[in-house]
Amino acid sequence: MIWAKRNFQWPEYTHYLRVIADLQLANPGLAEQFVMVSRKIEGPGISTYYIGLPSETFLKAFDGFAVVREQELPDVIDDLHLAAGDTVTKFFKILT
């Protein structure tokens, strides 16, 4: 599994949410490895969006996302946008 990130001002991320959801549906055997979460940063409505993908092959659909190491992921996220199974809870705590 690989991870990548990109900053967006809401609702600019929605195109990529549709892309990752379509990939998840098209690859049901890998569904748990398609993840999108976000962490708010300073600025009006700006967040860093993190995507998890089964392999780098899928990254070509995500322009402007930079690959990050698992160790660079935040411990806590603000929003869960897409996930299946318990993959998200293995990597993140969700603020409530």
User: Which domains occur in the chain, in start order?
Assistant: 2-94 (3.30.70)
Give backbone dihedrals phi and psi of 23, rounded to 5 degrees, phi first.
-65, -40
Sign (positive/negative) of CA torsion 14, 53, 81, 42?
Answer: negative
Confidence of residue 95 (pLDDT cuts 50, 70, 90): confident
Quick check: pTM over 0.85? yes
Rounded mean pLDDT, 44-61: 95
